[in-house]
Structure 1
Amino acid sequence: MADDTSRKRKVRGRKITASREQKEGRKAKKELARKAPTDSERNGDSPLTDPGEVVPEPFVETDAVRSLRERINGWLEADQPVHLIGPTGCGKTALALSAAAERGRPVVWLNGDEAVDTAALVGSHAGGERYEENDQFVSGVSKKTQIVRERWVDNPLSVAVREGATLVYNEFSRSDPAAHNVLLSVFEEGVLERPGKRGADRTIDVHPEFRAILTSNDVEYAGVHEQQDALLDRFIGVHVDYYDEETEREIVGAHVDLAEDDIATIVAKTRALRDELDIVVGTRAAITAAKGLAVFDGLDGDGEFDDETLTHVFTDVLVPKIAGENGGSVDDLRSKIDATV
């Protein structure tokens, strides 16, 4: 009888131990679920940005700039994605960010290049989370079970459509068109499908406040891909060209501390070079030249920049645009700049 009681007591002890292991296993599951990121936290590198933080500094607002931005925001209000197209250095990116900030919604930034694929847009699995259950219900037998749960990280497009943010997709046409197939259902059916994601949340319903602004250089620029017509048909195309001379002076003056007359000279020479040269001479080139001239002042006796200094500075600024081109000659470029300035 005593032996039987002892045996029962031992069995009961094993049951208690097993029960404790099961509780620990359940506790581990709950802890894992508690620590799991929520949908709003699965944002990759937290791409959501407050709209007040994205406006470029400095940002110049003239009548020409405001008119163009109002046009962009009008189309966004009509729930149309806007594609800004124009030459490099004309201010497309700054304009896109300003328009996005004016909406007052969070902003998600995405920069296009050859490496952007579908996963870079929507998200992918990023490793896994694991825990271990140790089952010793049967005396002398230890059973260990490892449970691994894959961790999914949303990338910019998924975050933007879910949170109702404004997506600013810079250099859109530098990405492979195949990566953009997921955009078709976003703009047409209002649904984002995330390839590679399993389960009920494979798709995301597009938030009613989601909007997109894309920027691209003109099609003749190197590294630009022609995108699929089915997608381009869903965009509003707004051509952004170089601003008028007054606006360019305001922009340069906001970036460089120079006298108004000096800025007027730099902008006038930049616009003349734009007309005479076969390379792109954008507003950014005028800003860079002004920064150089602020250091290499080269003022003549009349308080104006001398032609030699202007030629040297503009040559330094524009030479990278002919680097690597067949037949591109620095001497030819310098001669053309010298004749123009």
Structure 2
Amino acid sequence: MGDDSSRKRKVRGRKIRRDRSTKEGRRAKKELARKASKAASKNGDSPLSDPAAVAPEPFVETDAVTALRDRITGWLEADQPVHLIGPTGCGKTALALSAAVTRGRPVVWLNGDEAVDTAALVGDHAGGERYKEDDRFVSGVSKQTEIVRERWVDNPLSVAVREGATLVYNEFSRSDPAAHNVLLSVFEEGVLERPGKRGEDRTIDVHPEFRAILTSNDVEYAGVHEQQDALLDRFVGVHVDYYDAETEREIVRAHVDLEDEAVETIVNTMRTLRDDLDLVVGTRAAITAAKGLAVFDAKRNGKSETGEFDDELLTDVFMDVLVPKIAGDGPDDVSTLRSRIAESV
């Protein structure tokens, strides 16, 4: 009888120690999760955005714009990644964001450049989390164990494929093509591999609602990389060009408070320069010029209400807007540019 009671006490003692150890372990894990969550919030590790927060504002919807966006959203409904290609300043980014917003899914934004590598897309280890476990299994005796765990931070692509978000990859062709190898399995097999991640969750099954919209400048632009054919074959390419004159007037009017005649003068001048110069003169240039003219013309007591800007003022403003495109060239090129702008005006 005595032996049986002693055995029960020992069993109960082990159970108490095991329960206490389990409880301490749970508390430590909760603390680890809390610290990781706090760090993620602080470092902005989650790139998910509400669609309403990324909607381009203002965004002009003429028949030409709506028709183009409908093509993009149609391909997205067909579960095809869409690659928007066109000259700088033609509105690709705003169009991509508008198409992403119409889906009603979370949006993940990614901007391409030379620094983007595979880790910047899928994630990487971001230091370690350290905590201690106290095990007081005998009265007056304490055993302390220090545990270190590496913290993995998911980057935009991993978050997008897991959450079924719309990935908007702006300036896609400015990133090194080697970084995009991970996209092949995403679009072909529906699986994302995360190099550097260990364990069973090294891969992520692509969420059925995941979609991707990529934007790139034409290949002749500086800093643009040619991507591998194996990847480009998995995209649908939509070429985006400059809009018609009416759409460009509506876009400028949405950004700058000027009379219709003044906006028409600016857009007509911009379109003439686009045809006459060996430079890219996008709609963005017209918006910038309109903002400048709204200020400078008022100071010169001009006639922006009627659209009759002074020729010298128009030349000055468009010169200021376009001269950065020849930065680093000699003074002769700058003088030539001014002469050609003056002639066009």
Local SS of the residue matching 2:80: coil
Alignment partners' CA distance in 2, 1:67 and 1:47: 29
Q: Where does residue 113 of structure 1 map in the other structure?
A: 113
Query: In structure 2, what residue type is equivalent to 1:307?
Result: D
Shift of 1:146: 1.4
Structure 1, 44-53 or 18-27: larger mean CA deviation: 18-27
Shift of 1:28: 3.6
Alignment partners' CA distance in 1, 2:303 and 2:254: 25
Alignment partners' CA distance in 2, 1:205 and 1:121: 16
Q: Where does residue 33 of structure 1 map in the other structure?
A: 29
Local SS of the residue matching 2:129: strand
Alignment partners' CA distance in 2, 1:20 and 1:308: 90
Inter-CA distance 135–272: structure 2 relative to 1 (3 Å threshold)? same
Measured against aligned partners, the alpha-carbon deviations of 1:96-127 in whole angstroms (never above 9, x if no partner) come to 00000001111110011111111111111112
Q: Where does residue 328 of structure 2 map in the other structure?
A: 324
Alignment partners' CA distance in 1, 2:28 and 2:135: 19
Asked if structure 1 preserves the Cα contact closer than 8 Å seen for 2:49 and 2:108, the reply is yes
**Do structure 1's residue 59 and structure 2's residue 59 form an aligned pair?**
yes
Paired residues, number:
327
**Do structure 1's residue 280 and structure 2's residue 280 form an aligned pair?**
yes
Within a 5 Å distance, the mapping from 1:260-279 to structure 2 comes to: 260-279=260-279
Shift of 1:53: 1.9
Shift of 1:326: 6.0
Within a 5 Å distance, the mapping from 1:126-165 to structure 2 comes to: 126-134=126-134, 144-165=144-165
Q: Where does residue 209 of structure 2 map in the other structure?
A: 209
Query: In structure 2, what residue type is equivalent to 1:190?
Result: G
Asked if structure 2 preserves the Cα contact closer than 8 Å seen for 1:174 and 1:223, the reply is yes
Q: Where does residue 311 of structure 1 map in the other structure?
A: 315
Alignment partners' CA distance in 1, 2:291 and 2:270: 14
Q: Where does residue 293 of structure 1 map in the other structure?
A: 293
Measured against aligned partners, the alpha-carbon deviations of 1:220-263 in whole angstroms (never above 9, x if no partner) come to 11111111110000000100000000000000000000000000
Alignment partners' CA distance in 2, 1:128 and 1:28: 20
Alignment partners' CA distance in 1, 2:28 and 2:330: 60
Asked if structure 2 preserves the Cα contact closer than 8 Å seen for 1:273 and 1:340, the reply is yes
Alignment partners' CA distance in 1, 2:104 and 2:133: 48
Shift of 1:32: 3.4
Give the unaligned 5+ runs of structure 1. Answer: 1-11
Local SS of the residue matching 1:146: strand
Alignment partners' CA distance in 1, 2:315 and 2:212: 41
Inter-CA distance 207–291: structure 2 relative to 1 (3 Å threshold)? same
Alignment partners' CA distance in 2, 1:328 and 1:212: 45
CA RMSD of aligned residues (A): 2.8
Local SS of the residue matching 2:113: coil
Inter-CA distance 66–122: structure 2 relative to 1 (3 Å threshold)? same
Among all aligned residue pairs of Structure 1 and Structure 2, give the percentage whose two residues are the same amino acid: 76
Inter-CA distance 274–144: structure 2 relative to 1 (3 Å threshold)? same
Alignment partners' CA distance in 2, 1:255 and 1:235: 33
Local SS of the residue matching 1:332: helix
Q: Where does residue 4 of structure 1 map in the other structure?
A: none
Asked if structure 2 preserves the Cα contact closer than 8 Å seen for 1:90 and 1:242, the reply is yes
Within a 5 Å distance, the mapping from 1:247-262 to structure 2 comes to: 247-262=247-262
Measured against aligned partners, the alpha-carbon deviations of 1:287-331 in whole angstroms (never above 9, x if no partner) come to 000000000115259941010000000000001000024676211
- With normalisation by structure 2, the TM-score equals 0.87
Q: Where does residue 180 of structure 1 map in the other structure?
A: 180
Query: In structure 2, what residue type is equivalent to 1:132?
Result: K
Give the unaligned 5+ runs of structure 2. Answer: 1-8
Inter-CA distance 140–74: structure 2 relative to 1 (3 Å threshold)? closer
Query: In structure 1, what residue type is equivalent to 2:235?
Result: F
Shift of 1:25: 4.7
Structure 1, 57-66 or 322-331: larger mean CA deviation: 322-331
Query: In structure 2, what residue type is equivalent to 1:115?
Result: A
- With normalisation by structure 1, the TM-score equals 0.88
Measured against aligned partners, the alpha-carbon deviations of 1:158-198 in whole angstroms (never above 9, x if no partner) come to 11101111000000001111110000000000000111111
Alignment partners' CA distance in 1, 2:139 and 2:50: 59
Q: Where does residue 4 of structure 2 map in the other structure?
A: none
Alignment partners' CA distance in 2, 1:20 and 1:325: 80
Measured against aligned partners, the alpha-carbon deviations of 1:117-173 in whole angstroms (never above 9, x if no partner) come to 111111111122222235676999875431111111111101110111100000000
Q: Where does residue 243 of structure 1 map in the other structure?
A: 243
Structure 1, 94-103 or 133-142: larger mean CA deviation: 133-142
